[in-house]
Amino acid sequence: MHPSPDLLLLSLTWMTIALIAVVGSVVLFGAIMQFRRDRQNRHRIRRYQAWEVELSSYLFGAEPRHFPPIAPKDAALFRAFLARYLPTVGGAEAESLRALYLNLHLQESLPKRLRHRRAVIRAEAIEEVDNFHLTQHLDAVAPLIDDPVPYVAHLAAYALAHSQDLHFAETVVTWARKEEQYQQDRILRILEGFGPNLLPWLEEHLPAPEFDPEPWILFCLLAVSQRHQASRERLLALSRHPMLELQTAAIRALGALGDPETYEAVQDLAQHPAWPVRVQVAKVLGLIAGPMALPHLLKLLGDPVYEVRRNAAEAMMAIGNPGVQALQQVLANPLEDRFARDMARERLEWTEERGHL
């Protein structure tokens, strides 16, 4: 049985009215939200303009001045305002900015914000602890290194390391070891925040490399970035470790130290059966000993592995005129190893094309 035309018309009328009401509500809601955002933006701009004048007088005025009170509803806005300016000043001005932050009691809400359900609020709170050196809150930051949001965990690790407090070294190193290998550069930048004191701490607290070699790779990479001469003996021992990745990292670190006293130990590895080790040796011999390394670099110039020959040739060029002359002599001598002559020709031509000769 079909509905009557009148009933059908009435149904369509009410459906149309309902649809218009829904669409109208959505449009009205969007307009209200846009109006609120516009009003907030205008308020933010007005506040920022006023605070910029006051902050300039506070930091650079001829006489000490007091910053005007901040309304409670503007506290979050003012924290964001200070965060913009803090990286642009240093020295006494930075200390004045920190004093202003503390005098306005902006840090009092930090414990609550560090536990906030919104990740962006937790992240902002961690950055405040780090930027304003609020070391009393670091114990509350430490648990956030296991935050489910990677960005928050990253900021927590950075803040703990940047404090240079070795009390948190184990927490940060444990977190770093769980991170993916491809994030190694980012992890190193975080660990570098502890400064040179982290390397002695690692030597004392890491398990022996024969039982757990992987964290010692980070040790070697940190020794590279910090040119930590006191790590020399440990690096020499690690350069003999059977784990190739650790061994090559240690050789690279010895090259970064550039200590001629390590030359004999490194050049002994020039005949290592594993080509990745020879690749790294060819790269660092010149850094350690300069022209003294030429005899061993000439031998590596005839290595059966192309990467070893290339590194040896590049190391010889980096030594300067003695290295260039040695390559030219190899090229001119028909009795030299064919691989060595080909590599000498390739490197000399490459350099000549770029006007370096």
- The 10s digit of each residue's pLDDT in 231-267 is 999 999 999 999 999 999 999 999 999 899 999 999 9
DSSP secondary-structure letter at 168? G
How far apart are alpha carbons 91 and 286 in whole angstroms? 41
CA distances from 286 to 227, 275, 323, 325 (A): 17, 18, 10, 15
DSSP result, 189-231:
HHHGGG-TTHHHHHHHHSPPTTT--HHHHHHHHHHHHHT-GGG
pTM here? 0.75
Mean pLDDT of 308-332: 87
Give one word for 98, left, alpha or beta, with left for phi > 0 and alpha for psi -120 to 50.
alpha
- The 10s digit of each residue's pLDDT in 141-180 is 999 999 999 999 999 999 999 999 999 999 999 998 887 6
Mean pLDDT of 25-46: 85
**Residue 52 amino acid letter:** E
Q: How confident is the model at residue 137 (pLDDT cuts 50, 70, 90)?
A: very high
- The 10s digit of each residue's pLDDT in 89-123 is 778 888 888 888 888 888 888 999 999 999 999 99
Query: Residue 1 pLDDT more than 90?
Result: no
Q: How confident is the model at residue 181 (pLDDT cuts 50, 70, 90)?
A: low
Mean pLDDT of 50-67: 77
Here the tokens at position 9 are 């018309």
User: Which residue would you say has higher pLDDT here, 136 or 75?
Assistant: 136
CA distances from 79 to 86, 124, 133, 343 (A): 10, 9, 15, 60
254 contacts 262 by C-beta, under 8 angstroms = yes
Burial class (CB in 10 A: 0-12, 13-18, 19+), 132: buried
Q: How confident is the model at residue 353 (pLDDT cuts 50, 70, 90)?
A: low
How far apart are alpha carbons 54 and 134 in whole angstroms? 24
How far apart are alpha carbons 21 and 14 in whole angstroms? 10
- The 10s digit of each residue's pLDDT in 333-346 is 887 778 788 888 88
Catalogue all structural domains in the chain, each as residue range(s) with its CATH number.
Answer: 76-89+100-185 (1.25.40), 196-257 (no CATH), 258-357 (1.25.10.10)
User: Which residue would you say has higher pLDDT here, 59 or 294?
Assistant: 294
Q: What percent of the chain clears pLDDT 90, i.e. is strictly above it?
A: 37
What angle, 0 to 180 degrees and rounded to 10, lies between the N-to-C axes of helices 5-60 and 91-103? Answer: 120
pLDDT of residue 20: 85
Mean pLDDT of 318-338: 83
Of 245, 178, 183, nearest to 209 by C-alpha is 245
3-state secondary structure of 243: coil
pLDDT of residue 240: 92
Cα dihedral across residues 246, 249, 254, 255: positive or negative:
positive
**Residue 85 amino acid letter:** Y
How far apart are alpha carbons 280 and 261 in whole angstroms? 18
Side-chain-facing half-sphere of 62: CA atoms under 13 Å: 0
Mean pLDDT computed over every residue of the chain:
86
Q: What percent of the chain clears pLDDT 70, i.e. is strictly above it?
A: 95
Here the tokens at position 202 are 């690692």
Side-chain-facing half-sphere of 146: CA atoms under 13 Å: 5
Query: Residue 185 pLDDT more than 80?
Result: no
